[in-house]
Structure formats: structure tokens, C-alpha cells
Amino acid sequence: MLFTTKNAAEKRADLRKALKSGKLLQFPGSYSPMVSMLIEQKGFDGLYISGAVLANDLGLPDIGMTTLTEVSMRGRQIARTSNLPSLIDIDTGFGEPMSVARSVMELEELGISGCHLEDQVNPKRCGHLDNKQIVTREEMCKKVKAAADAKRDQNFLIIARTDARASEGLDAAIDRAKAYVDAGAEMIFPEAMKDESEFEAFRKAIDVPILANMTEFGKSKLLNKEQLENLGCNLVIYPVTTVRLAMKAVEDGLDHIKEKGSQEAIVDQMQHRKRLYEILRYEDYNKFDQDIFNFKL
């Protein structure tokens, strides 16, 4: 009820098993514990916790200004309300290899199922912006190895993201990905692929699972589930979709109230309180105390 029926180790084992299923796993972005509950109820495979969204929620741009404490604790809150496995974005790892190792250990203790680490220089940029700077291959490999060596649950998934496509080209990005796998990465996240052919090139060259990022308004064409499966991708994230949907609705609603002076005309656009209580499983709390849920809507 307050937590889930599956513990962190079981969620991680579920993710490992699902990655061997041959089907594409869909991980929508979750920006709150309640959204995680809804994602599970809608039948998705897992939760994605975006570093950009966590930064934006704090009123910050996605340039690496968040801390391990801010990201890990919010990640724990978002992950704990669902039986689904969760993947979290740790940007450049919050420091050098020793800090990366600590980050992985903290995330593992907090119930996260895996994380991805990128090869940008900090301060970083959103992966779909121009003029990104990346660290040397050797420096990133040290971080990946530190992450892989730090985990205690072998099912905790270490994902290496490469942003090298924009600055070094596709072939160099693939070569980097191979080096990251050799260093201990168990999944590769090729950022800002331009079209299907680039995903195909990664798939032919890389033996480990591949993560596809289907973010809106970016450099990548928005491919559907069938297309990504045919390209051999193993997992797809929709990192900012839910918060973009929510913020557009909030902005439109605020504009309406400012103009009309009341929300009465847009009540039918809102989630009903009854539906909110269904998502939260309010009625289940009545099993503990009859005085908690003793009303009708």
C-alpha cells in the first residue's frame, strides 16, 4: 500500500528478464510518485527518471546543476510507488570516478534499478542541443568502470550514454560505445540519432542492449514501437512527455482563469477527484482504518 509488493532486488531481476524477452520495453518519464502509479496501471514496462525533468522541476536548466542528493532522493520517491523497474539519469556522474561509484551505491540502496552516465563535459547540455563538449574516451571509460565495480546487486543496470555523434561523427560514437562496453557498460544509449540508419549502425556494431530516446522537439525522428523493434532496440524512453503534457494543461488552465476569472468552464478538462482516488488506491487504506474512507463522491 504505502510501498509496493516487490522489493528493489525483484524489480531489478524483472528488468533483466524483460531485456531478454526480445520485445521493446517502453519506459515513460515519471516526474512524480503519482505519475509512477499511473504508468504502472496503464501497463507500461518501467519508469524513466529524467535528469532534465528533475532539474526543470527545481526551476533549473538541464546543464548539470543538480546534486546527487537532489536527484537520488527524488528518484527514490518516484520509484517507490510502483512495482515497475526504474532507470535514472545521473548526467556526468556528479564528479570524477570516485563520485560516480558513490552515486551508484546510493541509487542501489534507494531502490533504483539502473542508471545512465554520459560522456559530456560538465557543465553539460541537453543531448539534443548543439555545441556539446565531450570528455576523452579514456576518462569516460574510467567512470564506467567505477560504476560497474561499485554495484553490489549484479542486476543493477549500468548504461553508458554517448553524445559523440554530434561532435565526432557516427563512426567515432560507435567506437566509443564499444570501449564503454569493454569498460563495463551493459547497455548503450546513443544520443541524438538522426534517423533509422544510425540506429541500425549501432545495432550491427554493439552486442549489448540499446536504449532509444524518443524525446519531442529534438534531433531524432520520433519512431514508433514497431519501427524501434525492427531496428533491434531493446528499450525506449519518453523522458519529458508526461511533464510536457501536464505543463501545457496547467498553462492553458491558468490563462483561462486569468482571462475569465473562474475555472468553472474548464472543470471537464480536469482529472476528477474520483479518478485521483482510484489511482492512489484510497479505498485500500480503509482496510487499516474504517474512519479513513467512509464517504462517497
Catalytic residue among 62, 108, 119, 163: 62
Q: Are residues 236 and 138 in the same domain?
A: yes
Active-site pick, 14, 91, 108, 186: 91
* The one catalytic residue among 40, 45, 163, 191: 191
Residue 236: its pLDDT value, please?
98
pLDDT for the residue 2: 66
Active site residue 62: yes
| Overall domain count for the chain | 2
Residue 274 is assigned to a structural domain of this protein: yes
Q: For residues 154 and 119, is the Cβ–Cβ distance under 8 A?
A: no
Residue 286's pLDDT is what? 76
The active-site residue, picked from 48, 76, 115, 233, is 48
User: Which CATH number characterizes residue 29's domain?
Assistant: 3.20.20.60
Is 68 within the bounds of a domain? yes
- Examine the domain organization and report whether 189 and 101 are in the same domain: yes
Count CB-CB contacts under 10 A for residue 111: 20
Catalytic residue among 74, 116, 128, 176: 116
118 an active-site residue? yes
- 59 and 177 fall within a common domain: yes
Q: Is 119 known to be catalytic? A: no
Does 252 share its domain with 233? Answer: no
Is 106 among the catalytic positions?
no
- Whether 198 is catalytic is no
Q: Are residues 56 and 90 both part of a single domain?
A: yes
Q: Do 225 and 264 have their domain in common?
A: no
Q: Catalytic residue, from 12, 161, 165, 176: name it.
A: 161
Q: What is the pLDDT of residue 288?
A: 75
This prediction has a pTM of: 0.94
User: Do 276 and 192 belong to one domain?
Assistant: no
In a domain, 30, yes or no: yes
52 and 101 share a domain?
Answer: yes
Cell 532509444 identifies what position? 212
The H or E element containing residue 248 is helix 241-260
Q: Based on the domain organization, do 261 and 122 belong to the same domain?
A: no
Which domain, by its residues, includes 156?
Answer: 8-240
Instruction: Measure the CA–CA gap between 255 and 249, rounded to whole angstroms.
Output: 10
Q: What is the pLDDT along the chain (297 residues), one digit of tens a residue?
A: 666 899 999 999 999 999 999 999 999 999 999 999 999 999 999 999 999 999 999 999 999 899 999 999 999 999 999 999 999 999 999 999 999 999 999 999 999 999 999 999 987 767 566 667 899 999 999 999 999 999 999 999 999 999 999 889 999 999 999 999 999 999 999 998 999 999 999 999 999 999 999 999 988 899 999 999 999 999 999 999 999 999 999 999 999 999 999 999 999 999 999 999 999 988 888 777 777 667 676
Q: Which pLDDT score, from 0 to 100, does residue 124 have?
A: 74
- The answer to whether residue 182 is catalytic is no
Alpha-carbon distance of 144 to 188, in angstroms, equals 11
* 191 annotated active-site: yes
- Mark whether 212 and 107 lie in a shared domain: yes
* pLDDT of res. 132: 77
Q: Work out whether the CA dihedral 150, 78, 26, 240 comes out positive or negative.
A: negative
The reply to whether 1 falls in a domain is: no
Whether 115 is a known active-site residue: answer no
Query: Is 89 within a domain?
Result: yes
Q: Is 161 designated active site? A: yes
| CA–CA–CA angle 225, 107, 184 (5° rounding) | 70
Q: Domain for residue 71, yes or no?
A: yes
Same domain, 61 and 198: yes
Q: Is residue 197 part of a domain?
A: yes
Same domain for 153 and 254: no
On whether residue 3 sits in a domain, the answer given is no
User: Among all chains, which residue has been given the C-alpha cell 468552464?
Assistant: 265
Q: Active site residue: 14, 89, 108, 186, which one?
A: 89
Catalytic site residue 233? no
User: Checking phi first, is residue 264 left (phi over 0); if not, alpha (psi -120 to 50) or beta?
Assistant: alpha
Catalytic residue among 118, 119, 163, 198: 118
List the catalytic residue out of 119, 213, 234, 238.
213
- Phi, psi of 135, rounded to the nearest 5 degrees: -80, 170
b/e burial code for range 283-292 (CB count within 10 A of at least 16 → b)? eeeeeeeeee
Specify the pLDDT at position 128. 67
